[in-house]
Amino acid sequence: MSITKAAIGLMYHIHKDTYRRNTLLINGITIGMALNMRTGYTDDQWKYDDFRKQVEMDSDLSKYSHSKLIISPKSCKWQYNNLIYQILACNMMDVADKFGDYMGDPAGELKKEGDLYFKHGKSWKWEHTKSGHPLGPHGLWMTKDFAKKFGQKSKDHVLRMSRAERTDIPRSAWGGIGAGKLKRYWSGWFFTDKNAYAIGWVAQVIALTPNSVKTQIYEENWDDDVSNHPDDIKWQFINCVEVPLKC
């Protein structure tokens, strides 16, 4: 499963003295603007199959993402953007090592696994290109137990320390799980009034509440994923966290 953006955002937060939010990243976009999806560009140029082709070709993912981003339509509103998080990942080339150190499960050397390349901890792995570029979108995989541990370790940083840096989300700007309920965004995490959510592929979620950490991590059927089943109970996960008495 992938909760990659939340992990990238948290590593920038943990290492904020080195990666200051007001530092320019590209095209007048600061690190802080990129982390909060305030890029001024839409996500129209993001195509997963083309992205995977670039990974397989061992392309420079930063240059690829930049070239796609600058031809995307402009937007003055908050816009979810996969390409900017690839640029953020490439800007912190050792993000997997930092993540492993933070979690107390260090990353090993880059190793080939079939046709893919990963840095591994014991309970997680992060996909890279052959030449070592960490993937921003769809890069990080972890076990269910490790996802819970990640949420528990990140809880204070996300729920408390992020308050002054969160960005409001227009009501119609997010159409994934939790659509219409998520109000703010910070460094890969979505927020309601009290809770925070790291949202991965389709309906994979780590939920942080003031009193607990809840996860919805499941084995995805890649040929027929949950997006094809709007009545699947998994879509109610965030609703159940927000109003548990209704579930």
Convert the pLDDT of each residue in 111-124 to its tens digit.
999 999 999 999 99
Confidence (pLDDT) at 246: 65
Q: What is the average per-residue pLDDT within 127-145? A: 97
Q: Are 194 and 206 in contact (CB under 8 A)?
A: no
Confidence (pLDDT) at 25: 97
Local structure of 126: helix, strand or coil: strand
Domains of the chain and any CATH numbers: 4-246 (3.40.710)
Convert the pLDDT of each residue in 32-43 to its tens digit.
999 999 999 999
Confidence (pLDDT) at 226: 87
- Answer whether residue 1 shows pLDDT above 90: no
Record the pTM: 0.95
- Answer whether residue 2 shows pLDDT above 70: no
Convert the pLDDT of each residue in 152-202 to its tens digit.
999 999 999 999 999 999 988 999 999 999 999 999 999 999 999 999 988
Confidence (pLDDT) at 92: 99
Q: Are 180 and 211 in contact (CB under 8 A)?
A: no
Distance between CA atoms of 91 and 134, rounded to whole angstroms? Answer: 10
